[in-house]
């Protein structure tokens, strides 16, 4: 059985995002905090990294995950932990070994995302009636990096309500977003791939992006939210893409959510797509990180109630 561990600790290193919240008052006509002090929940999810080259999509046999959520109001304690239960595909699709560590912190004005993802073992599936499966056990993709996103209308648009369920969005609101990021990619090619190079290649990129975030309050129970950014990154790999020339790569980043909420609990579906590109051996490689999560969270004042004296 494949094992997968994903841990997200929003610790004091990310308190800078909360400092922004203290300098400008939240518009209470748009955003309301939960009255309870403790958030506890569970979720099921899938996290994956896909590689596209020359019209082929290489996919891992990633696991189906189950996890827990725990957070304390007005503290830096915000923890998610999950465990890969079983691969989504049968053994005929091959075996993928992986490490997938992510941090997603939603501040009043600043959202921070960190990715440490290492996948080895991919497959492709043909489009014909037989849909032949081709396995690439030595193909590996590593993505290490992160980015920050600044929300200009953070006093009215709550990323905590949209993507964390630790606040409530009372009225529809949106705002322009700007971001920047840095990523290091390493790709190890498989001998079954028809490419004019076999050595692993590395690519380091830095870039900027911009877009828009919006939350639509349908009624007091339903909330639909989304954000999308597009931009460009520059990177250079002297040994592989032409004498150290700087190349510019398009980038795209999107996340969305659908939430049903009550005064003390919520059910949500979240998705995240992070698309980047790299160039080597006269080929473009599109690297896409995709996350889907279905969660249930409950808000408490005290998890363990004191017993009443008889």
Question: Which domain CATH number covers 159?
Answer: 2.40.128
Which tens digit of pLDDT belongs to each residue from 75-113?
666 777 777 888 888 888 999 999 999 889 898 999 999
In a domain, 122, yes or no: yes
In a domain, 306, yes or no: no
16, containing H or E segment: helix 16-23
pTM: predicted TM-score of the whole model, two decimal places: 0.86
Which tens digit of pLDDT belongs to each residue from 241-278?
545 567 888 999 999 999 999 988 999 999 999 999 98
The per-residue pLDDT for 63 is 87
Which tens digit of pLDDT belongs to each residue from 169-192?
999 999 999 999 999 999 998 888
- CB 253 within 8 Å of CB 273: yes
Which tens digit of pLDDT belongs to each residue from 191-230?
888 765 667 888 899 999 999 999 999 999 999 999 999 9
- Please check the confidence at residue 19 and state whether its pLDDT lies above 60: no
In a domain, 225, yes or no: yes
Number of domains in the chain: 1
In a domain, 276, yes or no: yes
In a domain, 309, yes or no: no
The per-residue pLDDT for 191 is 82
Residue that has been written with the tokens 């979240």 in this structure: 270
Range of the domain at 77: 5-300
What's the Cα-to-Cα distance from 137 to each of 93, 108, 121, 194, rounded to whole Å?
10, 43, 4, 15
In a domain, 188, yes or no: yes
Query: Does residue 296 or residue 237 have the better pLDDT?
Result: 296
- Residue 43 to residue 107: CA distance in whole angstroms: 22
In a domain, 307, yes or no: no
Which tens digit of pLDDT belongs to each residue from 46-57?
999 999 988 889
Residue-by-residue DSSP string for 166-225: SEEE-S-EEEEEEEEEEEEEEEEPPTTS--S--S-EEEEEEEEEEEEEEEEE-SSSEEEE
In a domain, 288, yes or no: yes
Helix, strand, or coil (residue 132): coil
- Residue 73 to residue 77: CA distance in whole angstroms: 8
Helix, strand, or coil (residue 286): strand
């Amino acid at each position: 059985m494949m094992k997968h561990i994903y841990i997200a600790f929003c610790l004091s290193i990310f308190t800078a995002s909360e400092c922004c919240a203290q300098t400008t008052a939240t518009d209470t006509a748009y955003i309301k905090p939960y009255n309870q002090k403790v958030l506890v929940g569970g979720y099921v999810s899938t996290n994956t990294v896909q590689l596209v080259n020359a019209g082929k999509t290489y996919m891992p046999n990633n696991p189906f995950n189950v996890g827990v959520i725990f957070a304390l109001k007005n503290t830096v304690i915000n923890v998610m932990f999950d465990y890969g239960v079983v691969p989504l595909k049968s053994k005929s699709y091959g075996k993928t070994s992986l490490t997938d560590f992510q941090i997603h912190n939603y501040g009043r004005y600043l959202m921070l995302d960190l990715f440490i993802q290492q996948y080895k073992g991919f497959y492709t599936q043909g489009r014909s009636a037989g849909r032949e499966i081709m396995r690439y056990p030595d193909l590996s993709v590593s993505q290490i990096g992160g980015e920050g996103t600044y929300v200009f209308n953070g006093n009215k648009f709550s990323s905590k309500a949209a993507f964390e369920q630790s606040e409530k969005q009372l009225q529809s609101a949106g705002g322009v977003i700007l971001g920047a990021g840095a990523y290091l990619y390493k790709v190890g090619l498989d001998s079954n791939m028809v490419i004019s190079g076999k050595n692993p290649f590395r690519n380091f990129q830095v870039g900027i992006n911009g877009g828009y975030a919006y939350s639509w309050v349908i009624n007091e129970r339903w909330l639909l939210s989304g954000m999308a950014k597009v931009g460009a990154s520059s990177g250079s790999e002297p040994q592989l893409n032409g004498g150290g020339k700087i190349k510019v790569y398009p980038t795209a980043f999107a996340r969305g959510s659908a939430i049903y909420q009550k005064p003390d609990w919520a059910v949500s579906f979240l998705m995240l797509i992070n698309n980047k590109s790299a160039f080597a051996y006269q080929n473009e490689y599109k690297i896409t990180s995709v996350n889907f999560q279905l969660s249930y969270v409950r808000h408490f004042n005290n998890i363990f109630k004191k017993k009443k004296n008889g």
